[in-house]
Chain A
Amino acid sequence: MNLTLTNALRIAQTSLLNTGTRTSVLTDNINGANDPNFSRRDASIAYGPNGEQTISIRRSENAALLEQSLRASSAASAQETLSSSVTRLNRLINGVDGEASISTALTDLENNMQMFAGDPGNEMLAATAVDSAREVADRLATASGAVQLFRAEADREIEQSVADVNSLLEQFKQVNDKVVIETRTNGDPTPWLDQRDALLKEISEHISVNAVTRDSNDMVLYTYQGVTLFETNPRSVTFTPTPTYAPGKSGSSVRIDGVPLDAGAGASSSAAGNLAAWVQLRDDIAVDAQSQLDEIARGLVLAFAETDQSGGGGPQLTGLFDYGGGPGMPPAGAVYTGMAATLSINSAFDAGVGGDPMLLRDGGANGASYVENANGEAGFSARLLNLVENFGANYTTDASAGIAGSYSVSTYAEASLGWLEDIRSTAADSADRKSVLSERLTQELSNETGVNLDEEMSRLIELEQSYQASARIIAAVDELFNALLNSIR
Chain B
Amino acid sequence: MSLFGMMRTGVSGMEGQAGRLSTIADNIANSATVGYKRFSTLLVTQSVNQPGVQMHFSGGVTAETRQLVSQQGVFQFTNSASDLAVNGSGFFVVEGPGSSQLLTRAGSFVPNAEGELVNAAGNYLLGYSFESGIPSPTANGFAGLERVRIDDNELVAQATDQGDFAFNLPSTAEIITGNTASANLSTSEFSEKTSVTVYDNLGAPILLDVYYTKTAANTWEVTVYNQADAAPDTAFPYANGPITTDTLTFDPSDGSIIGATPTLSIAVPGGATVELDMTGSSQLAAEFEITDIEVNGTAPSSIERVEFTTDGTMLAVYTNGTSRELFRVPLATVASPDNLEALTGNTFAVTDGSGDVRIGFPEDAGAGTIISGALETSTVDIAQELTEMIEAQRSYSANSKVFQTGSELTELVINLKR
Contact residues of A with B, CB < 8 Å? 1-2, 4-7, 10-11, 13-14, 17, 48-52, 54, 177, 180-181, 184-186, 210, 212, 214-216, 218, 220, 222, 224-228, 231-233, 235, 238, 240, 252, 255, 257-259, 480-481, 484-485, 487-488
Contacts and interface: CB of A to CB of B under 8 A. Distances in A.
B195 A235 contact: yes
B294 A257 contact: no
Nearest to B231: A258
B321 interface: yes
B319 interface: yes
B205 A232 contact: yes
Nearest to A220: B293
Contacts of A235: 195, 207
Nearest to A218: B321
A329 B288 CA distance: 49
A228 B207 CA distance: 11
A2 B71 contact: yes
Interface of B: 31, 71-72, 74-77, 87, 192-197, 205, 207, 209, 227, 230, 233, 235, 287-294, 304-305, 307, 317, 319-323, 371, 374, 377, 379-384, 386-387, 389-390, 393
Given A2-B381, A5-B383, A177-B321, A487 B304 contact: no
A73 to B, nearest CB: 20
Interface centre among A13, A48, A228 (most CB of B within 10 A): A228
Given A184-B317, A231-B293, A4 B381 contact: yes
A180 B390 contact: no
A218 B379 CA distance: 43
Given A2-B71, A10-B74, A258 B290 contact: no
A4 B289 CA distance: 61
A184 B390 contact: no
Nearest to A216: B321
A14 B76 contact: yes
A2 B379 contact: yes
A231 B293 CA distance: 9
B193 A212 contact: no
A252 B232 CA distance: 13
B84 to A, nearest CB: 14
24 contacts: A1-B72, A2-B379, A4-B381, A5-B383, A6-B382, A7-B381, A10-B74, A10-B76, A48-B75, A50-B87, A52-B374, A54-B77, A212-B290, A214-B294, A220-B293, A226-B287, A226-B290, A228-B290, A231-B195, A231-B197, A235-B207, A240-B233, A258-B193, A481-B382
A222 B209 CA distance: 14
Given A220-B293, A231-B197, A258-B193, A50 B74 contact: yes
Given A4-B384, A180-B321, A226-B289, A11 B193 contact: no
A2 to B, nearest CB: 7
Contacts of A259: 193
A181 B77 contact: no
A11 B75 CA distance: 9
B162 to A, nearest CB: 14
Contacts of B380: 6
Contacts of B322: 184
A257 B393 CA distance: 84
Contacts of B371: 52
B243 to A, nearest CB: 16
Nearest to A485: B386
B232 to A, nearest CB: 8
Nearest to B389: A488
A233 B74 contact: no
B48 to A, nearest CB: 35
Contacts of B31: 6
Contact of B383 (A13, A51, A484): A484
Contact of B194 (A181, A224, A226, A484): A226
B390 A222 contact: no
A186 B195 contact: no
Contacts of A227: 193-194
A89 to B, nearest CB: 28
Nearest to A259: B193
Contacts of A10: 74, 76, 377
Contacts of A481: 382-383, 386
A78 B289 CA distance: 23
A316 B321 CA distance: 76
A212 B166 CA distance: 13
A185 B307 contact: yes
B317 to A, nearest CB: 5
A52 B77 contact: yes
A6 B30 CA distance: 13
A227 B196 CA distance: 11
Nearest to A180: B321
Nearest to B169: A226
Contact of A488 (B71, B196, B386): B386
Contact of A233 (B71, B87, B205, B390): B205
A228 B167 CA distance: 12
Contacts of B320: 177
Given A184-B322, A232-B197, A50 B75 contact: yes
A14 to B, nearest CB: 6
Nearest to B386: A484
B195 A228 contact: yes
Contacts of A240: 233
A487 B294 contact: no
Interface centre among A4, A177, A226, A488 (most CB of B within 10 A): A226
A255 B319 CA distance: 30
Given A222-B290, A233-B205, A238-B233, A14 B77 contact: yes
Contacts of A238: 233
A233 B194 contact: no
Contacts of B321: 177, 180-181, 184, 216, 218
A97 B255 CA distance: 56
Contacts of B74: 1-2, 7, 10-11, 50-52
B233 A228 contact: no
Given A216-B321, A228-B194, 14 more contacts: A2-B74, A2-B379, A7-B74, A11-B74, A50-B74, A50-B87, A177-B321, A184-B323, A185-B305, A185-B317, A214-B293, A220-B290, A220-B293, A226-B288
B298 to A, nearest CB: 10
A395 B123 CA distance: 99
A186 to B, nearest CB: 7
A210 B167 CA distance: 14
A447 to B, nearest CB: 30
A5 B317 contact: no
Contacts of A214: 292-294
A5 B382 contact: yes
A14 B374 CA distance: 11
Given A216-B321, A220-B290, A488-B389, A52 B75 contact: yes
